[in-house]
A and B are shown apart, each in its own frame.
Chain A
Amino acid sequence: MKLRVRLFAAAREAASADQIEIDLPCGATVADVPAALAAEAPTLAPFVERSLLAVNSEYAAPQSLLREDDEVALIPPVSGG
C-alpha cells in the first residue's frame, strides 16, 4: 500500500519536500516506516532515527497497524514555545 508521510521543519528542508510517498506491504506497522522513509529519501536518515511518528494527528506506537488512508507524519524533536 502507498502511504504519504508529511515532513516538517529541518526534515522537510532535508528532503526538499513536504511529503514523501512510501510503499509498504499490507499489514505493515509504524515500525516499518523509518526504514522505508530513509530508503526513499536518504537525506532523512539522520531524522528518522530521532523522530517520532504520528498517525492521524496522534503519536503512534511502533506496533500500530497502518491503513492505506492514514495520514502519517514524521515528527522531529519539537521546539515550540
Chain B
Amino acid sequence: MIKLTEQAIDVPQLLAPMRRPNSGAVVLFLGVTRRFTAQRETVRLSYEAYQDMAMAQLGRLEAEARERWRLCECVIVHRLGEVPPGEDSVAIAVSSPHRAAAFEAGQWLIDTLKQSIPIWKQEHWADGDSEWIHPSVETQTKSDVD
C-alpha cells in the first residue's frame, strides 16, 4: 500500500493490518524530523513531491520488494507539507513469515526511496534561513526575512 498525505501519519492504524497469523515478523521504519543537525536547530521541514511520478515509482518499489522477498504486507507512507520536529515524515512497514526478509526489505525500501523517489525536503532553520536539500547541488536560498 502506497500513500502520500498532508496529514500526520497514524502509525497504530498502519500497523494494525500487519499482524496476521502468517506474519511472524513486522518491521517498522519511521523517519522523524530531527531538531538539531550539527548544532543547528530545525524548526520544521517541508516536503514537496512530484506526486504522479512519486506514486508510480513508489508502486514500483513495493512491487520490486515483493519480488525480491517473501512479504505478507508492505506499506509505504510519505508525508508532504510541513513536518515539525518529533513528527514522522515517512513510515515503512513490512511483514514476512521470518524476520530476515522483513529487516532486509525495510532497509532496502527506505534506502531506495531516499535515492530515487521524486520528493524533496526543505529545512527551515531557527535562525530564519531555509534551504532545499539537494544532495550535491548548491541550494542555499535566501532567508525568509530578506
Contact = CB atoms under 8 A, between A and B. Distances in A.
Contact of A80 (B52, B117, B139): B117
Contacts of B110: 81
Interface bin, chain B: 20 to 34
Contact of A6 (B31, B50, B114, B117): B50
Interface centre among A8, A46, A73, A75 (most CB of B within 10 A): A8
Interface of B is mostly: mixed
A57 B49 CA distance: 12
Interface in A47-67: 47, 50-51, 54, 57-59
Contacts of A8: 48, 50, 118, 120
B11 interface: no
B29 to A, nearest CB: 9
A10 B118 contact: no
